[in-house]
A and B are shown apart, each in its own frame.
Chain A
């Protein structure tokens, strides 16, 4: 577990023990508000993917502390973490495969309304012995950007029939995942054509959800068809508007072995490079050359700028979800001062 030297509330964020993750609270709230208001006047609701950050505090900002509003997570352990923090309406992406996950689901439905996403009869069979109260099902539709989902139209119809006529589990509707802005149109087409097929067989979905968690919300919502009832998004609280980042990792220069080169105390254990190297926020002429497990290699034009040992480097992660997953705590910052330290309680909830 992380062991920073604790700093009192009100401390300047650049004096926190590094590397550490900081979030500008004002920008966070503003991003959340803008995202929510952008869907005003539509029949589509914004469903936060709270698995992105794993913190109950940010999830409360995203739901205006209404624990009955739906939140989306990836795994059963993440769901349990949010249920433990009072959330009562949770959509889980992962299907309940295996005894452990079915048992988790059984515990979850005793205290919250749980929706799971399925794509095969094998998944449905895992639900045979569960209490049906508090459990809903979404069926996952594949599209050109995402191959995971129900294989054929025939299988889709059969699954819906089984759900409605035999299992008597509440079938909520359809879900699809868009994995890139290029595939957005195709994912809309995929889910709408599946719904049209179901309607031709006298079945109607109550929910048509699209998960665009790793895409900028602004790109998604401008093209949203009116039939879509829910937009699942994960990154919007942290989107960048202007030069100040909403979410970054603070690190410290620990060696300047030669001109134009600095060695910093943040490597891959402090910021993920699984989906790209981080961006240097506070020195526009400096870039991350590479990162080892423990350290970062910063290079810059020594004529234009200089760095000394102890200088602070602000890094914006290439992917927020990957980096939240590395920290047990993150710092909320207001007016450059530490406002609170929040726990990423769902960190490491892989199951």
Chain B
């Protein structure tokens, strides 16, 4: 773990590079969009902690508003970090497999309101068994695959079977259904609404089928950043699992109401006639399967090569850059990048206001 922390009050030019910055004004503006959107709705935001990995930042959204005072996590270890950070309502959005992890989940359920998704009977039976042994109760939501071909039940009938089983088992409490989906490319508002509704409707079909069998469905957790404004307009959806909106990234720029808040500060460390070399490479930026970031305010620069600890950028036109010059990288993706850093440096008007550790970094388990 690396522990560099700039002094609070330091100006941005004194920050060592590369560093992961949060533009506080942009992030707070993003949080305010959520607070406003959900101010008069039954449906609320359940922010996804897998993106930010820092309870103190998640608390900021809870304080600003629009949420149900809880978060989602992808893994049990992340959920533990959130509970330790004082958040008491957690939905783990992955199936938890293996006795060790199931025990951790069951123990955590003694300390907080912990829910987990399921998509098969064996997993549900195992959770019930472990929770009984430990003397806790775990809330369960059925994951519905609506578009992505990943985990989740494929038909409403499978959902009904699982809900019935959950109702019959001790130490698990059937709470509802959940789903996750994405849209490809730059989606305009009309596409977001059409696609978002189509996916969410699939999840609601399972809800209806379960209710038709006399089983109450209290939670429908569906939608994310791209459908944050679609989901609350659909009757029956109780919460939205949004995460990307907090910091945003290049591929989600089409959501113009949100601003890019997470950026990497870098320094030009070398140059040729037509290229510059910066001190941020694949290790700190990530670049899954060749995706590349951009440089803020520098349309004439393009990433031509990313190495472990540096990147080479091609300069279009005259190379007027200088060794030692700093610039901001607008990232091509977000949570994979955050997972590589040990802290965020929060900056407002060019001054360091806060340094946040990222305690759920590396929480793979």
Contacts and interface: CB of A to CB of B under 8 A. Distances in A.
B78 to A, nearest CB: 9
A114 B1 CA distance: 22
A74 B279 CA distance: 10
A309 B323 contact: no
B241 interface: no
A321 B308 contact: yes
A111 interface: no
A190 B307 CA distance: 20
Nearest to B304: A147
Given A292-B150, A295-B94, A309-B123, A94 B16 contact: no
A151 B310 CA distance: 18
B353 interface: no
B279 A325 contact: no
B119 A348 contact: no
A305 interface: no
B1 A328 contact: yes
Contact of A257 (B94, B151, B284): B151
Given A257-B153, A293-B339, 6 more contacts: A151-B273, A254-B96, A255-B150, A268-B336, A309-B123, A348-B1
Interface of B: 1-2, 4, 14, 16-19, 50, 74-75, 77, 80-81, 94-98, 100-101, 104, 119-120, 122-123, 145, 149-154, 267-273, 275, 277, 279-284, 286-289, 306-310, 312, 322-324, 335-336, 339-342, 359, 361-365
Main secondary structure of the interface of B (DSSP, over half): loop
A28 B285 CA distance: 29
Given A2-B364, A4-B365, A328-B1, A254 B152 contact: no
Interface residues of A, number: 70
A120 B275 CA distance: 14
Contacts of A274: 282, 286-289, 306
B181 to A, nearest CB: 12
A252 B97 contact: yes
8 closest A-B pairs by beta carbon, nearest first, are A100-B16, A255-B151, A74-B309, A3-B77, A5-B100, A122-B323, A350-B284, A254-B97
B272 A348 contact: no
Given A147-B275, A269-B339, A5 B365 contact: yes
Contacts of A265: 94, 97, 364
A99 B17 CA distance: 10
A98 B50 CA distance: 33
Contacts of A297: 149-150
Nearest to B273: A151
30 contacts: A2-B77, A2-B365, A17-B101, A77-B2, A94-B310, A147-B275, A255-B95, A257-B151, A263-B95, A263-B151, A269-B339, A269-B362, A272-B286, A274-B286, A274-B288, A274-B306, A293-B50, A293-B335, A294-B94, A297-B149, A297-B150, A327-B362, A328-B1, A347-B1, A348-B340, A348-B341, A351-B2, A351-B4, A351-B17, A351-B279
A97 B339 contact: no
A98 B120 contact: no
A245 interface: no
Interface of A: 1-5, 17-20, 51, 74-75, 77, 93-95, 97-101, 119-120, 122-123, 142, 147-148, 151, 179, 213, 252-258, 261, 263, 265-266, 268-270, 272-277, 291-295, 297, 309-310, 321-322, 325-328, 347-351
A276 B290 CA distance: 9
Contacts of B324: 97-98, 122
A28 B310 CA distance: 28
B226 to A, nearest CB: 15
Given A5-B100, A19-B364, A322 B283 contact: yes
B22 to A, nearest CB: 17
Contacts of A275: 282
A330 to B, nearest CB: 12
A93 B309 contact: yes
B154 A348 contact: no
A268 B332 CA distance: 14
Given A268-B288, A310-B98, A123 B323 contact: yes
A261 B149 contact: yes
B267 to A, nearest CB: 5
A75 B309 contact: yes
A101 B324 CA distance: 11
Nearest to B333: A293
A325 B283 contact: yes
Contacts of A253: 97
Contacts of A256: 120
Contacts of A74: 281, 308-310
A315 B179 CA distance: 27
Nearest to A271: B364
A119 B271 CA distance: 9
Contact of B18 (A99, A321, A347, A350): A350
Contacts of A321: 283, 308
A255 B270 contact: no
A257 B154 contact: yes
Nearest to B288: A273
A280 B165 CA distance: 35
B200 to A, nearest CB: 19
Nearest to A213: B308
A147 B272 contact: yes
A251 to B, nearest CB: 9
Contacts of B280: 350
B304 to A, nearest CB: 9
A105 B80 CA distance: 39
B308 A98 contact: no
A177 to B, nearest CB: 9
A294 B322 CA distance: 39
B11 to A, nearest CB: 13
A326 B277 contact: no
